[in-house]
Amino acid sequence: MREQLRKLPGVDNLLKTIEVKDLLAEYGHELTVGGIRGLLDEVRAAIVSGVPCPSSSALIARVVERVEELGRPTLWPVINATGVILHTNLGRAPLSEATIAAMEEAGRSYSNLEYNLETGNRGSRYAHAERLLCQLTGAEAALLVNNNAGAVLLVLSALARGYEVIISRGQLVEIGGGFRIPDVMAQSGAQLVEVGTTNRTYIGDYANAINVDTALLMRVHTSNFHVSGFTHAASLTEMVELGHTKGIPVVDDLGSGTLIDTSSFGLAHEPTVQESLSEGADLVTFSGDKLLGGPQAGIIVGRKDLIATIRHFPLTRALRVDKTTIAGVQANLLHYLKGKAIEEIPLWRMITRPLEEIEARAQAMARKLCDEGWAAKAVEGRSAVGGGSLPGQTIPTWLVALECESPDDLAHKLRQGKPPVVARIEEDVLLLDLRTVPLEQEEPLLGSLISSRKL
């Protein structure tokens, strides 16, 4: 063992090799030396356990591989062939070209983020998106934070800390990542008051729970699941009437949030932000990166006095967004204001993509794959909106079905490709849904499939 350990070169000797000098030039001293030391520790432990010392050339090859791995980003572009449009694990929907350009421009240069160009004095970063949000929704005021979970936490903390918030037991939801409404309320310092039952809650349940400590009435839209059967929920209109009679604000957490009526596309109706405000909700919270189709953000719209209180609450600074997010949200909102959201925002383009177009693309790709030796055919299927939005709602689509010995092995090979491809497996068949694959990604997708046969 000692003889094998003596064969192991030190860091200084490895740094003198041509290959490692090239690594130093590209990746710098700290990353290269750190990679070498980490690898040498692993090799030394292996030698102690009885593994022979690798040859000099083999060790240098491993050093190069290790340093290159450390120097690569871990966030990769992926081809989403699952047919899930808002795929949370894949970063939800892509952004529009105008949104990307606006974010790039904001990141590239200085900006008037918190500077009033008219007066030359300090301005507010919150003003930039507020005007557009008010114009689109009819709200008196608006506030942008980092995500909708942050928006809900901020509203509860600023308006109900130390007081009670009444909510239906059937709306105590959990979204992705273990984010639970009861936990958020506890974190905010507000006291949760559950009313009704899991499946039925009446406006009288809210009325009976109101007392001098009640700060808010809250409705949480169940955007990521659906309850059917023997159910009843008090309407937002009823809650608003009760709240306003008692002088208690009503908060409507829409979760996904949409400015467009989803029923226009054959989907279930998702309550719009405009509808909540028109029904009298004092505050509405929703996401910027789900059915809005923009960058990740949490949005609060509603009464000017309540927004002002929230804006000056200390937690607001911890949840604020940066200049690139503000620029992206603005650009995305402008699509709606110009009446071009369906044409320009990828989310809506995918939802409204003609079935005939998807069929033609699937048939063409299946033929190309058959020419390459695959057992491929185009079949009918369903796409999902995803992202905790429109639960159970799917859209007709066409799929490329690949029959192979092991769909799991093929799916793994595709995920390891360049670019990585994520597909889905149903009934022992690997499926590719081109609804979520832009035209410009078809050739890379074919390339990954062809390469996977050679592995």
Structural element, H or E, at residue 363: helix 355-371
Same domain flag for 422 and 435? yes
Q: Please compute Rg for the chain using Cα positions.
A: 27
Q: List the single range of 4-8, 216-220, 423-427 with lowest mean pLDDT.
A: 4-8
pLDDT of res. 184: 78
List, for residues 428-446, the tens digit of each pLDDT value: 999 999 999 999 999 999 9
Give the mean model confidence (pLDDT) for residues 109-113. 94
Same domain, 124 and 175: yes
185 pLDDT band, cuts 50/70/90, is: confident
Mean pLDDT computed over every residue of the chain: 91
Same domain as 254, residue 117: yes
Residue 301 has pLDDT above 80, yes or no: yes
Residue 26 has pLDDT above 70, yes or no: yes
Q: What is the structure's pLDDT at 392?
A: 72
Residues 67-105 have pLDDT tens digits of 999 998 888 899 999 999 999 899 988 999 999 999 999
pLDDT for 176 = 57
Domain count, the chain: 3
Res 227: pLDDT: 60
The predicted pLDDT at position 117 comes to 92
Same domain? For 379 and 269 the reply is no
- Quick one: 115 and 227 in the same domain? yes
Do 322 and 356 lie in one domain? The reply is no
Name which residue leads in pLDDT, 389 or 223: 389
Mark whether 257 and 305 lie in a shared domain: yes
| Edge-to-edge strand ranges of the sheet holding 191-195 | 141-145, 298-302, 283-287, 250-255, 214-220, 164-168, 191-195
State whether 83 and 103 are in the same domain. Answer: no
- Peptide bond before 419: cis, by omega within 30 degrees of 0? yes
Point out the domain boundary residue: 344, 376, 405. Answer: 344
Q: What angle do CA 378, 383, 388 make, to 5 degrees?
A: 160
Please tell me whether residues 404 and 260 are part of one structural domain.
Answer: no
pLDDT at 248: 97
pLDDT of residue 38: 93
Answer yes or no: do 61 and 16 share one domain.
yes
Are 339 and 358 in the same domain? no
Domain of residue 56 covers 2-70
pLDDT of residue 228: 58
Of the residues 344, 365, 397, which one is the last residue of a structural domain? 344
CATH code at 230?
A: 3.40.640.10
Maximum Cα–Cα distance across the chain: 87
For residues 160-170, one letter each, b for 16 or more C-beta atoms within 10 angstroms of the residue's C-beta and e for the rest, the string is: beebbbbbbeb
Domain finish residue from 304, 329, 344: 344
Q: Which pLDDT score is estimated for 108?
A: 95
CATH number reported for the structural domain that contains residue 355 in this entry: 3.90.1150.110
Q: Are residues 425 and 276 in the same domain?
A: no
Question: Is residue 225 pLDDT above 80, yes or no?
Answer: no
Q: What is the mean pLDDT of residues 380-407?
A: 87
